[in-house]
Structure 1
């Protein structure tokens, strides 16, 4: 099977990481893959904040969970009340993906960059998980300021990164197949 297709088909969201920090070269490989994502009008409207400070990652997780616990959506509130849950699954590295506010399609472009990061991480033996629930944190200006984003950027989501715990590998997920129609 083609190597790229294999990476796409075998990547899974990892939610159990070893505590060991990933290497700087691995982060650079992942960021390099991200900045090679396609973007509308080649605007490349992304910015990446790499966080490896455990106290800050834990703080963000606690703030997010507190806000989630107040949600009117029961599954979100239930997750927020789960004392064992860490929003970033105790990953040693978290990358926040932000986009330029005045870009034509920043959210879509940053989504493409995020997917490139997930695939690159898997291709070099790292585990990753796309974290959408971080959006709760982005409602609090004081917390967003801690990201030190350039002027004119807004955060969208995060990627948790680390070495996967080999004792807790996710199982393959059956994919829906009845999702295509052809017009020829």
Structure 2
């Protein structure tokens, strides 16, 4: 089997939900963001990254997301929202929201997902922990949603599609579970 550094990083990356309080270094943040910019896309790079490192704002996003989740039909999301101890950002010091231009000629979900995956892999490669976060995007469907878009300077016509938290891992060793069998079909 072929093994190289990139393949090792892909296999070892796990979602981290426990972070140190310490903020990541600017050099690390810039390396991760640059990797996101080099993600595959439909040719127009119609994404925008919003980096939030302000603790007060992170807390407000968590509360707004929980407010919106309380109104949803999905019981699991309502349970999380009603748990006072639940922090959808897991105490991470940095959140990156990936927004896409809603007027782009092709659907942006895939482009934003590819950019997010690049962010996650780059972070892992330099020793940062990450977690792809859906829940926080619910904040944009809360009563404060429009206000948050303005405060976060999300460009007009752009919609938040994905997000990830970054920080230093509290626990360095993470078990990599075996993959499920029968997930590949060959037709040759």
TM-score if structure 1 supplies the norm length?
A: 0.94
Instruction: Pick the aligned partner of 1:7 from 1, 9, 30.
Output: 9
Tell me the CA shift for residue 46 of structure 1: 1.0
SS across alignment from 1:155: strand
Whole-angstrom distance in 2 between the partners of 1:181 and 1:48: 36
Q: Does 1:155 align with 2:160?
A: yes
- The answer to whether the 8 Å contact 1:127/1:164 transfers is yes
Partner of 1:51: 52
Instruction: Pick the aligned partner of 1:33 from 35, 55, 58.
Output: 35
Whole-angstrom distance in 1 between the partners of 2:7 and 2:165: 23
Q: Does 1:141 align with 2:146?
A: yes
Tell me the CA shift for residue 170 of structure 1: 4.1
Partner of 2:111: 109
- The answer to whether the 8 Å contact 1:48/1:97 transfers is yes
Which 5+ residue runs of structure 2 have no aligned equivalent? none
- The answer to whether the 8 Å contact 2:35/2:118 transfers is yes
- The answer to whether the 8 Å contact 1:131/1:159 transfers is yes
Number of aligned positions between the proteins: 182
TM-score if structure 2 supplies the norm length?
A: 0.92
Q: What is the RMSD of the two structures over their aligned residues, measured on CA atoms?
A: 1.3
Whole-angstrom distance in 2 between the partners of 1:69 and 1:157: 20
SS across alignment from 1:71: coil
Whole-angstrom distance in 1 between the partners of 2:52 and 2:186: 44
SS across alignment from 1:94: strand
Whole-angstrom distance in 1 between the partners of 2:162 and 2:88: 12
Partner of 1:132: 134
Tell me the CA shift for residue 71 of structure 1: 2.3
Partner of 1:71: 72
- The answer to whether the 8 Å contact 1:34/1:113 transfers is yes
Whole-angstrom distance in 2 between the partners of 1:171 and 1:32: 28
Partner of 2:181: 177
SS across alignment from 2:96: strand
Tell me the CA shift for residue 174 of structure 1: 2.9
- The answer to whether the 8 Å contact 1:137/1:144 transfers is no
